[in-house]
Amino acid sequence: PEESTAPAVGEVLKDAPSNWGKWGDDDEVGALNYLGPEQVVAAAGLISAGKVFTIQRLIGDPKGDPVWPGRSPAERTQILDEGDWDEGGKGPSFPGGLHYADDKINAFLQGSTQYDALGHVWYDGLLWNGYDARTTIGGLDKASVQPIAEKGVVGRAVLLDMARFRGKPYLDSAETFTHTDLEECARSQGVELRKRDILVIRTNYLQRFFELGDAFYEGFCEPGLVYSPELVQWFADMEIPNLVTDTIANEVTFDPNNGVALMLHNALMRNLGVTLTEIVDLEELAADCAEDSRYEFFYAAAPLKVAKGSGSPVNPIAIK
């Protein structure tokens, strides 16, 4: 990060809407409370063709893994394979001659397709629901990914294909859009945006990562939603539980109006309790939606139950 003249995020958001306390003083899942049995049953009614889409990006993709600057992609290490029995006899010996493959992964919990815990970002020493930021020291005692993983995320989701809507293969660096653009995109796709929808937004921006390699990170500024008081109020009024995007960080990286980094992480996640999901791969799903003109579907995601975790890898599933 460079020296900047950006205002403190707490200044910009001092009158912003908040859901703190709405679900009790000990809540740790925030706006996911909007997804109850009624929403799950209604979402199940969207399954008609039996088409299943898994939207996780491949961990260990030979083409590379896009990650937030400063993080490194997950590393998988082989621990045991046939070579351990073939060449040198190091493999453990079991009755009957059992051989097996073992491996391990060393990964940022935010290093691939992921759910962020509500305690993943904060300002002014307080995180979601007013928990003290010192509860993050050594691991999240409050608002970790564990309660989100225990609840699971299931509901009606709508794909908003902003790249197709703007007639581009992918959005440009720093290109922005607002909630009114999302509404227009939905209208052009012929799908209704409803309260408590899970929003799934396609920019296809990460295609640039696969085209450019390391040069992708020069002047890094992803496209995405941009902060305005009206946009935050729209998320509050629409009771959006979960924002899912195919970018690394869900929103335009630096607010073009004031330079603040990841403003919506704070305005939506810290203040409203909206869960953020990043780095999904929407290409097959989006192609199918364009083909059958159905942009709504059943969505389910089960992040891993990681005690104190600030996020978790995940392979969300969309079913039509």
Structure tokens at 304: 């891993």
| Least Cβ distance, residue 265 to ligand UVW (angstroms) | 6
Does 217 help bind ligand UVW (rule: CB under 6 A)? no
Question: For ligand UVW, which is the closer residue by CB, 23 or 68?
Answer: 68
Residue with tokens 């999901």: 277
Which residues partner with 244 through β-bridges? 200, 277
Question: For ligand UVW, which is the closer residue by CB, 208 or 265?
Answer: 265
Instruction: Report the run of H or E that residue 289 belongs to, with start and end.
Output: helix 283-292
Binding residue for ligand UVW, selected from 117, 157, 171, 249, defined by CB under 6 A: 249
Question: For ligand UVW, which is the closer residue by CB, 114 or 189?
Answer: 114
| Least Cβ distance, residue 86 to ligand UVW (angstroms) | 41
At residue 34, φ and ψ (nearest 5 deg) are -70, -15
Residues between 46 and 105 that touch ligand UVW (CB under 6 A)? 68
Which residues partner with 298 through β-bridges? 156, 319
Does 159 help bind ligand UVW (rule: CB under 6 A)? no
Does 265 help bind ligand UVW (rule: CB under 6 A)? yes
Cα–Cα distances (Å) from 289 to 13, 51, 103, 283, 285, in that order, read 36, 11, 37, 10, 6
Number of amino acids touching ligand UVW (CB under 6 A): 10
| Least Cβ distance, residue 89 to ligand UVW (angstroms) | 44
Binding residue for ligand UVW, selected from 18, 110, 245, 253, defined by CB under 6 A: 110
Beta-carbon neighbour count of residue 134 at 10 Å?
A: 10
Contacts of 106 (CB under 8 A, 6+ apart): 74, 75, 77
Does 117 help bind ligand UVW (rule: CB under 6 A)? no
Residue type, 93: S
Does 296 help bind ligand UVW (rule: CB under 6 A)? no
The closest alpha carbon to 283, from 222, 200, 212, belongs to 200
Does 246 help bind ligand UVW (rule: CB under 6 A)? no
Which residues partner with 75 through β-bridges? 106
| Least Cβ distance, residue 249 to ligand UVW (angstroms) | 4
Give the distance, in angstroms, between the CA of residue 173 and the centroid of all CA atoms in the same chain. Answer: 19
Does 266 help bind ligand UVW (rule: CB under 6 A)? no
| Least Cβ distance, residue 135 to ligand UVW (angstroms) | 17
CB under 6 A: which stretch of 115-123, 209-217, 281-289, 292-300 binds ligand UVW? Answer: 115-123
The beta strand positions in 162-295, using DSSP E, are: 176-177, 198-202, 224-225, 242-245, 275-278
Instruction: Report the run of H or E that residue 75 belongs to, with start and end.
Output: strand 75-80
Does 118 help bind ligand UVW (rule: CB under 6 A)? no
Given the rule CB under 6 A, which residues bind ligand UVW? 68, 110, 116, 120-121, 248-249, 262, 265, 278
